[in-house]
């Protein structure tokens, strides 16, 4: 199962990002584990400064804004 982390110190955009990914996974019928990372030290360890950021299976794929639904679909699929 894919492990997706949403990096962000709890601002509204981070919530929305988690929802966008959750929805994409649901539509595709794929089970993913979404974890919200709010600890600033862990976020910075990925080198991310513009939140929200997205990490898929340990790899940073996105930073600085709410991702488009297309992007989220690509992350849960492959």
Q: Which residues contribute to the site for another protein (CB under 8 A)?
A: 8-9, 11, 13, 40-41, 43-51, 59-66, 68
Residue placing its CB nearer to another protein in the complex, 29 or 47: 47
Residues serving a catalytic function are 11, 14
Residue ranges of alpha helices (H) inside the chain are 12-28, 40-45, 69-77
Residue placing its CB nearer to another protein in the complex, 30 or 44: 44
Greatest alpha-carbon span in the chain: 33
Q: Phi then psi for 46, rounded to 5 degrees?
A: -85, 0
Provide, rounded to whole angstroms, the least separation between the CB of residue 60 and another protein: 6
Provide, rounded to whole angstroms, the least separation between the CB of residue 29 and another protein: 26
**47: CB partners within 8 A, 6+ apart:** 60
């Amino acid at each position: 199962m894919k492990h997706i982390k949403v990096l962000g110190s709890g601002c509204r955009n981070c919530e929305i990002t988690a929802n966008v990914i959750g929805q994409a996974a649901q539509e595709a019928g794929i089970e993913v584990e979404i974890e919200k990372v709010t600890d600033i030290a862990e976020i910075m360890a990925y080198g991310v400064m513009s939140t929200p950021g997205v990490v898929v299976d340990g790899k940073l794929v996105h930073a600085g804004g709410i991702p488009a639904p297309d992007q989220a679909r690509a992350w849960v699929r492959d």
